[in-house]
């Protein structure tokens, strides 16, 4: 069985500060890993994904994440936070076995950006 742990249900940073959202996963097979973002009153939008190519993955809006197998982590970072980054962020792992590809999500981290 797969699982995802997101440390910190709420994270607050100042505008211009580093954003670090933590994600650790558990998977019995090499995983596909995803970060999704949900802005207020909108659906989930894909930020970036890891699918066994480069371990450092760059996504939209200046976000990136690094896959570290030894640490079973896939933390999301952005060098400089912007007010528009305030949203809820979800880490997810995909079951790559067979034809099913359901996602297992973490509980989400709500990012607050302050002036």
Partner 1 sequence: EAGVTQFPSHSVIEKGQTVTLRCDPISGHDNLYWYRRVMGKEIKFLLHFVKESKQDESGMPNNRFLAERTGGTYSTLKVQPAELEDSGVYFCASSQDLRLAGADTQYFGPGTRLTVL
**Contact positions toward partner 1, by CB under 8 A?**
4, 32, 34, 36, 41-46, 49, 51, 90, 92, 94, 96, 99-108
| DSSP state for residue 30 in the 8-state scheme | P
Burial of residue 49, with CB atoms counted within 10 A of its CB: 0-12 exposed, 13-18 middle, 19 or more buried: middle
- Whichever of 22 and 96 has its CB closer to partner 1, that residue is 96
CB of 87 to partner 1, least distance (A): 14
For the chain, list the strands marked E by DSSP. 3-5, 10-14, 19-21, 24-26, 32-38, 44-50, 56-58, 64-68, 73-78, 87-94, 103-105, 109-114
Nearest-approach distance from CB 17 to partner 1, in angstroms? 27
Q: How far is the CB of 55 from partner 1 (least distance, A)?
A: 17
Nearest residue (CB) to partner 1, 44 versus 86: 44
What residues form DSSP beta bridges with 5? Answer: 24
Nearest approach, Cβ of residue 96 and partner 1 (Å): 8
Specify the residue, 7 or 46, whose C-beta has the smaller distance to partner 1: 46
């Amino acid at each position: 069985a797969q699982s995802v742990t997101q440390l910190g249900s709420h994270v607050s940073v100042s505008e211009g500060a580093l954003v670090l959202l933590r994600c650790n996963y558990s998977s019995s097979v090499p995983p596909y890993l995803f970060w999704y973002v949900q802005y207020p009153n909108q659906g989930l939008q894909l930020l970036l994904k890891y699918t066994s190519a480069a371990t450092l993955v760059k996504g939209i809006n200046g976000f990136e994440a690094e896959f570290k197998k030894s640490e079973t982590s896939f933390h999301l970072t952005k060098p400089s936070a912007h007010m528009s980054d305030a949203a809820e962020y979800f880490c997810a792992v995909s079951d790559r076995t067979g034809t099913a590809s359901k996602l297992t999500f973490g509980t989400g981290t709500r990012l607050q950006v302050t002036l």
